[in-house]
Chain A
Amino acid sequence: MVNLRINNIDITVKDNMTILEAARQHNINIPTLCHYPDLHINSDCRICVVEIEGYKGLKTSCSTPVSEGMNISTNTPKILNARKTITELILSNHDATCTSCVRNMRCELQELAKNLGIDINRFENVLVKKEIDNHNPALIRNANRCIKCGRCIDVCKEVQGMHVLEIIGRGHEMEIAPAFGKYLSDESCTFCGQCANVCPVGAIIEKDNTNTVWEKLYDPNYHVMVQVAPAVRVSIGEEIGLKTGLISNGKLVSAIKRLGFNNVYDTDFTADLTIMEEGTELINRIKTGGVLPLMTSCCPGWINLAEQEYPEILPHISSCKSPQQMFGTLAKTYFAEKENIDPKDIYVVSIMPCTAKKYEATRKELRIDNENPDVDIVLTTRELGKMFRQMGIDFDKIDEVEFDDPFGISTGAAVLFGATGGVTEAALRTVYEILNNKPLEDLEFKSVRGMQGIKEASVKLGDLEVRVAVSHSLANARVLIEDVIAGTSPYAFIEIMACPGGCIGGGGQPYGTTNDVRLKRIASIYEVDGNMVYRKSHDNPSIKKLYKDYLIEPNSTKAHHLLHTKYSMRSGKA
């Protein structure tokens, strides 16, 4: 333990803590800008400087470890002047047109400037305007707003192992961009959007599609329906300023209904369907000696990685479309036929925790009809929050409403898709009962839960002892993928999610998604599962009806035509 004094308060903290950690533990706030809880300490912004008695100059509290007897001041006039000066400097090379920025009022730089009381900038604006990278369907990179804090590089490199974003140039010309200043779409970007989630300002943002959705909602020629992904119900609360991990099923549906959608459906329904199809595929592959391990296909970030970098892995990936795309297809076939609406007049909107889903929806190979996409447009959780704010919906005061039929009934297994390990757990619940021909006693596979990077479990399926593995974040995915390619993978089934924590930690989720926040959202996911009437996908009565009425049986020719796809190696992207 170390004894030290901060602002004349004597405190005792654990060894090896930084001054910032020690101060925060004792409710002494030191402002920061580049600091982000789960990432590297870059110490680039120098906002968190403090004065330490006996030390020359100012020291950054984020990187300086505590030591015995330190006497620290966190807010002397000298420190305040330094913080203000640095903030003015950053603003002098920043496109500070705050009122026309998606981060307005939710921007960490703006917040800092406000708290420091920056009322005048002594320095001339020296911003040299750069081209905005608007060349892909998912993300926009606006270098004019970038403050070069390096968070996006860290998350892209260390967490995702992608190395798409790097520092290029030097000194005042330095820029954070893909190599040689190319567009994200020229690089092996998977559009996971983790960079957009950690960006403190509006330099990397999702492509905003809310205007298109508003137009369609008020266009009488369209039947506009929406599907909501499992992870959104445990994060939308944060987006509109409520508690982290708040579970909002009924109010979410109610609020979306108020926006004017004809039907509000649940992606959980097609998550159950995915389990039926993918589970059957796994059983078939095990029984017939097919390619194993079978790898999940729900995550578009991971599919992008596989198609771009690991062509050898493609036969391992389940041919199932993702739940989002299965929903789109069913909406424009089954639903259209049932309701007698021309599929061209059906407009399918998805609410996803994900930016890569925006790209997935544009993929030509995922269309039943060559002209029109199955999912017309994808909104992130953040964009949904924006629509609620535009409409002025008071989330607290509205009634709770159920999802619409027929794609509204779902199971606990489906909601698990939102958390890392969830697809595996859901699949095991179904595959176990089918292969072992007896009910599963303990539904909860605890070993695939939690934030550990790679998790594994072992299950007895029939006569076989089958090993399964789960990874989240692409850097962890690479470990499992490379084992599979090397032929040393001991698993029969592998779940891969591109984002840390799974979809609840997706790139389109509310800002400030740290690991602490992820854990709270994950806990809520399990709470939702525990409260469900049905907790196994094959128990879902609507799914049973869908097969009976339309798809015949899992992996039938019709199911294959509608719900499955193929993957191919590619270098560039659309």
Chain B
Amino acid sequence: MIERIELTKRFDKIDPLSIKNYLDFGGYEVFKKALKMKQEDILNEIALSRITGRGGAGFPVSIKMKSFAKESGFKYVVCNADEGEPGNFKDRYLMEKDPHQIIEGILISAFSTGASKCFIYIRGEYAKAIGIMKNAIKQAYKTNHLGMNILGSNFSFEIEIRRGAGAYVCGEEFALIESIEGKPGRTRVKPPFPTQVGVFDKPTLINNVETFCNLPFILRIGGTEYSKIGNEYASGTKLISLTGNVKNKGLYEVPYGRTIREVIEVLGGGVNDNKKISMVQLGGACGAIIPESLLDMDIDNEKFNIFDSKMGAGAIIVMDESFDMFDIILKNMEFFQHETCGKCMPCREGHIQVLNLIKKFVRYSANEKDYLSLESLAQVIHETALCGLGQTSMTSIISTMKFFKEDYQQRIKESLFKEEYYG
């Protein structure tokens, strides 16, 4: 078995519109157990689990939660459901198929850290998910899983949904916080970090949907047990959004440590029409493009660090030999050029120039100088941009320059040929 079904186990078995279904399935039991635990015990279990954030950056969850728990006063939890990364749809599934699992995870994190209110920031295009989440929250209030003195305890908690307005950058934590406050989605300077100064200048714990969903699971089986799932670099399961030229596209839950090839070939059923895989993009538009020869890497293998990209949010986009690599990069860059917020200069002014340079490769009019400019520019944007958008947007270029350098050289030769013969 490659899959390990934990977060997705209730999918299609319960009615997402019914809290009763969820309760019958043992829902909110872990939260009830948590209510009787000491806060630091919960945080310790989470620390033992070694869980890392599932939104893409992979920051250790317990470090964030512990530093947040130390803050005093009114505190917010934010659930990042702005899933804007192309190729990802795991959060949508989690919201549409098992909304109460998310609420339970949020409740556990809020109870263990002393937070009083949560905003769930959902991508604007996810109309169905928004409806389902709203319904779930209403039911949770009715059954006193939310509101004052939850289930007879001293713990009171509110959840409010905020709908995004379509900006990709609002998935970045500070842009998201600005957006919740009603401002345009542009990031802030760090430090201070959200756990210190976040929504409305209050300490804020911000996590991805999938991260919250893992908390009931961790407390159910215990942190130590959880940490055994996966490999030495990452624990637990990961939801993989598998798309592109594979037979069985869809969402899969896989423990860390399995290889990308396994996911594509066993779960995805390989490539359509017996074509060959030419490249695979990991994580989404901001992820690395790797050749077929690297598919035996683990999901979250340390090797990923060589291009500063881990699994990201968990997308695997498979492309067969019918695709031109430069077209793919062009599409990525057009996306980022459209989505850059404009706040910091390398990102704002850089993407349009990257686009110009990539267009030269697409149109067979690139030369060695263009290659060097592109290489230097991509590296500068990656290293100097203010937020995650600019820091990761160049990954497809940086990774292809590493793994497909001969394609660039070939394109430059062909450009020269084209110029010489066709002018």
Q: Is the CB of A57 within 8 A of B391?
A: yes
Interface residue from A43, A60, A78, A170 paired with B167 (Cβ < 8 Å): A170
Known: A82-B380, A126-B353. A46 touches B346 (CB 8 A): yes
**Can you spell out 10 A-B residue pairs with CB atoms less than 8 angstroms apart?**
A41-B189, A43-B344, A43-B386, A60-B384, A82-B384, A85-B376, A86-B345, A124-B356, A167-B342, A171-B351
CA distance A124 to B382 in the complex (A): 20
Q: Is the CB of A82 within 8 A of B383?
A: yes
Number of interface residues of A (CB under 8 A): 36
Which residues from A are CB-within-8-Å of B341?
Answer: 170-171, 174
B363 at interface, CB cutoff 8 A:
no
A214 at interface, CB cutoff 8 A:
no
Interface of B (DSSP majority class): helix
Q: Is the CB of B344 within 8 A of A171?
A: no
Which residues from B are CB-within-8-Å of A86?
Answer: 345-346, 349, 380, 384
Q: Is the CB of A172 within 8 A of B337?
A: yes
B414 at interface, CB cutoff 8 A:
no
Which interface residue of B340, B346, B369 has the most chain A CB atoms within 10 A? B346
Q: Is the CB of A172 within 8 A of B340?
A: yes
Q: Is the CB of B384 within 8 A of A58?
A: yes
Interface residue from B186, B191, B338, B385 paired with A46 (Cβ < 8 Å): B385
Interface residue from B353, B369, B386 paired with A44 (Cβ < 8 Å): B386
A93 at interface, CB cutoff 8 A:
yes
Q: Is the CB of A167 within 8 A of B356?
A: no
CA distance A92 to B344 in the complex (A): 15
CA distance A86 to B384 in the complex (A): 9
Chain B residue with the shortest CB-CB distance to A85: B380
CA distance A44 to B342 in the complex (A): 9
CA distance A492 to B353 in the complex (A): 60
Q: Sorted from nearest, which 10 A-B pairs have the closest CB atoms?
A: A174-B342, A89-B349, A85-B380, A46-B384, A57-B383, A171-B340, A43-B189, A123-B353, A122-B373, A58-B383
Q: Is the CB of A46 within 8 A of B342?
A: no
A-contact bits for B163-194, CB 8 A (1 contact / 0 none): 00001000000000000000010100111000
Chain A residues proximal to chain B, CB less than 8 Å: 34, 41-46, 49, 56-58, 60, 63, 65, 78, 81-82, 85-86, 89-90, 92-93, 122-124, 126, 147-148, 167, 169-174
CA distance A89 to B349 in the complex (A): 6
Q: Is the CB of B348 within 8 A of A45?
A: no
Min CB gap B282→A, angstroms: 19
Q: Is the CB of A148 within 8 A of B348?
A: yes
B271 at interface, CB cutoff 8 A:
no
Q: Is the CB of B380 within 8 A of A171?
A: no
Min CB gap B168→A, angstroms: 10
Chain B residues proximal to chain A, CB less than 8 Å: 167, 184, 186, 189-191, 308, 337-346, 348-353, 356, 369, 373, 376-377, 380, 382-386, 391
Which residues from A are CB-within-8-Å of B337?
Answer: 171-172
Q: Is the CB of B344 within 8 A of A46?
A: yes
Which interface residue of A42, A78, A86, A93 has the most chain B CB atoms within 10 A? A86
CA distance A100 to B87 in the complex (A): 49
Q: Is the CB of B349 within 8 A of A172?
A: yes
Min CB gap A88→B, angstroms: 9
Q: Is the CB of A81 within 8 A of B342?
A: no
CA distance A86 to B349 in the complex (A): 8
Q: Is the CB of B190 within 8 A of A172?
A: no
CA distance A90 to B186 in the complex (A): 19
Q: Is the CB of A45 within 8 A of B376?
A: no
CA distance A78 to B349 in the complex (A): 19
CA distance A297 to B343 in the complex (A): 39
Which residues from B are CB-within-8-Å of A63?
Answer: 189-191
Min CB gap A6→B, angstroms: 19
Min CB gap A90→B, angstroms: 6
CA distance A513 to B348 in the complex (A): 29
Which residues from A are CB-within-8-Å of B342?
Answer: 148, 167, 169-174
Interface residue from A49, A65, A92 paired with B191 (Cβ < 8 Å): A65
Which residues from B are CB-within-8-Å of A124?
Answer: 353, 356
Which residues from A are CB-within-8-Å of B386?
Answer: 43-44, 46, 60
Which residues from A are CB-within-8-Å of B376?
Answer: 81, 85
Which residues from B are CB-within-8-Å of A172?
Answer: 337, 340, 342, 348-349, 351-352
Min CB gap A178→B, angstroms: 15
Which residues from B are CB-within-8-Å of A46?
Answer: 344-346, 384-386
Known: A43-B386, A57-B384. A89 touches B350 (CB 8 A): yes
Which residues from A are CB-within-8-Å of B186?
Answer: 167
15 more contacts with CB within 8 A, not counting A49-B384, A148-B342, A174-B341, are: A46-B385, A60-B386, A85-B346, A89-B345, A89-B377, A123-B356, A123-B377, A147-B345, A167-B184, A167-B342, A170-B167, A170-B342, A172-B351, A172-B352, A174-B348
Min CB gap B357→A, angstroms: 9
Which residues from A are CB-within-8-Å of B184?
Answer: 167, 170
Min CB gap B368→A, angstroms: 13
Which residues from A are CB-within-8-Å of B384?
Answer: 46, 49, 57-58, 60, 82, 86
Known: A63-B190, A170-B341. A92 touches B353 (CB 8 A): yes
Which residues from B are CB-within-8-Å of A89?
Answer: 345-346, 349-350, 353, 377
CA distance A89 to B357 in the complex (A): 13
Min CB gap B330→A, angstroms: 16
Which residues from B are CB-within-8-Å of A169?
Answer: 342
CA distance A295 to B385 in the complex (A): 48
Which residues from A are CB-within-8-Å of B377?
Answer: 85, 89, 123
Q: Is the CB of A42 within 8 A of B189?
A: yes
CA distance A44 to B341 in the complex (A): 12
Chain B residue with the shortest CB-CB distance to A47: B345
Chain A residue with the shortest CB-CB distance to B336: A171
Chain B residue with the shortest CB-CB distance to A169: B342
Which residues from A are CB-within-8-Å of B167?
Answer: 170
CA distance A457 to B38 in the complex (A): 56
CA distance A124 to B360 in the complex (A): 12
Which interface residue of A45, A89, A124, A174 has the most chain B CB atoms within 10 A? A89
Chain B residue with the shortest CB-CB distance to A51: B383
Min CB gap A571→B, angstroms: 26
Known: A85-B380, A86-B380. A171 touches B338 (CB 8 A): yes
Which residues from B are CB-within-8-Å of A43?
Answer: 189, 344, 386
CA distance A92 to B348 in the complex (A): 12
Q: Is the CB of A148 within 8 A of B382?
A: no
CA distance A410 to B191 in the complex (A): 52
Min CB gap B373→A, angstroms: 5
CA distance A169 to B343 in the complex (A): 11
CA distance A78 to B384 in the complex (A): 11
Q: Is the CB of B345 within 8 A of A90?
A: yes
Known: A43-B386, A82-B384. A93 touches B349 (CB 8 A): yes
Min CB gap B259→A, angstroms: 26
Min CB gap A154→B, angstroms: 13
Which residues from B are CB-within-8-Å of A90?
Answer: 345, 349
CA distance A36 to B376 in the complex (A): 29
Which residues from A are CB-within-8-Å of B369?
Answer: 122
CA distance A57 to B391 in the complex (A): 9
Min CB gap A33→B, angstroms: 8
Which residues from A are CB-within-8-Å of B348?
Answer: 148, 171-172, 174
Min CB gap A320→B, angstroms: 42
CA distance A67 to B12 in the complex (A): 51
Min CB gap A188→B, angstroms: 20
CA distance A93 to B337 in the complex (A): 15
Min CB gap B186→A, angstroms: 7
Min CB gap A395→B, angstroms: 37
Which residues from A are CB-within-8-Å of B338?
Answer: 171
Which residues from B are CB-within-8-Å of A81?
Answer: 376, 380
Chain A residue with the shortest CB-CB distance to B342: A174
Which residues from B are CB-within-8-Å of A173?
Answer: 342
Min CB gap B385→A, angstroms: 7
